[in-house]
Amino acid sequence: MIPHRLKISEAATSRCRYIKSRTGVTPNITCRIALMLSLRDKRPTFKEGVDAQGQEFNAPTLFGEHQRVYELLLEKYKAETADERDLAEIISCHIDNGLHKMGHVRSLLDLAKLE
């Protein structure tokens, strides 16, 4: 079950702000895109010393009306990778990883071209 409150890292918060300033896309939508980019790789992501000093989201705000879909995808990921960390930490790590993959985004066109 996805926790009701989730925090992302300070670096992720900064990256979301930058993308919002360039594209107008809100941080919750940016985080959804980042999460899916990272989950698509089906590789575990680990971070040394989880930094949860950034923006905090309510799960309904972060995942919207499709929260159950994200929850099922995360459960499948945990089963396939045998990742034993708590879901909040897994989500935060995947958002960081996905935002790293979005490093070249400077416009809505760049965002639309993400593969």
Mind listing the domains of the chain with CATH numbers? Answer: 5-112 (1.10.1220.160)
pLDDT at 13 over 90: yes
50: tokens are: 């989880």
- Do 81 and 44 contact (CB within 8 A), yes or no? yes
The whole-number pLDDT of residue 5 equals 94
pTM of the model: 0.89
DSSP assignments along 41-106, one per residue: TT-----SS----S-EEEHHHHHGGGHHHHHHHHHHHHHHHT--S-HHHHHHHHHHHHHHHTTT--
The tens digit of pLDDT for each residue in 36-89 reads 999 998 777 776 666 778 999 999 999 999 999 999 999 998 888 887 888 988
The whole-number pLDDT of residue 52 equals 74
